[in-house]
Amino acid sequence: MLQVALVIALGAIIVILFRKFDLVFGKDESLSIKSPLSQQLQDQQKKREARLKRKLQLDRALERVRILKRKGEREKAEKVLLKLLSFFNRRPEIFYELGILYLENKKYKNAISTLKAAINRDSKNGFFFHALGLAYLRNKEYQKAAENFDKALHFNNKIPYRWADLAVALIELERFREAKEAIKQALEAEPHNIRYRAILESVEKKIK
């Protein structure tokens, strides 16, 4: 009888231990203890997921801005962009979209300051520099316009309208021969472009 009692007691102890570690149900509690490295990896994964989520939210919001602009609802588009800046004030693409909106609305000084903010956050984007050049051009600051068009071309000199806009700024600065060379670059890419041909004719008349 004593041996039977000892066996039963031993069995009870084993069952208790197994349940404690969840081995009865296929889970080892000891594995749930996280090492500093595993915790760090998990934190990094959570941060990546959070960044991705915010990026998707931003992309959807910017798409909404473009839809509003196409509908002619520019005031609503501006409000959305300004609200976005309160949440994503480090994202250059928001400043760029707002700067383009100001440029299209002929608010050139606002466009200049906003596009500068975009460049301060990303100084390696040729589109930002070209848009700033356009804002200066519309505001009749031709030297600054030419400088920014030139910077845009530094990033990509295969975009013909960048050469054409540089030519326009150079004409206003009366640098006609440089303007002619610039518009020739645009025409090499798009030889049948009516606007580019008109600029070339204009600058050739001024040279004569």
Query: Is residue 138 scored above 80 in pLDDT?
Result: yes
Mention the CATH class of domain 49-144: mainly alpha
Residue for token pair 């930002």? 128
Residue type, 141: E
* Residue ranges of the chain assigned to CATH 1.25.40.10: 49-144
DSSP state of 92: H
- Residue 170: per-residue pLDDT: 98
List, for residues 149-193, the tens digit of each pLDDT value.
Answer: 999 999 999 999 999 999 999 999 999 999 999 999 999 999 999
- Residue 29: per-residue pLDDT: 44
The tokens for 122 are 């990303």
Query: Is residue 204 scored above 80 in pLDDT?
Result: yes
- Residue 21: per-residue pLDDT: 46
List, for residues 73-121, the tens digit of each pLDDT value.
Answer: 999 999 999 999 988 888 999 999 999 999 999 999 999 999 999 999 9
| Helix segments in 88-193, DSSP class H | 92-104, 108-121, 126-138, 142-155, 160-172, 176-189
CATH for 157-208? Answer: 1.25.40
The CA distance from 65 to 98, in Å, is: 10
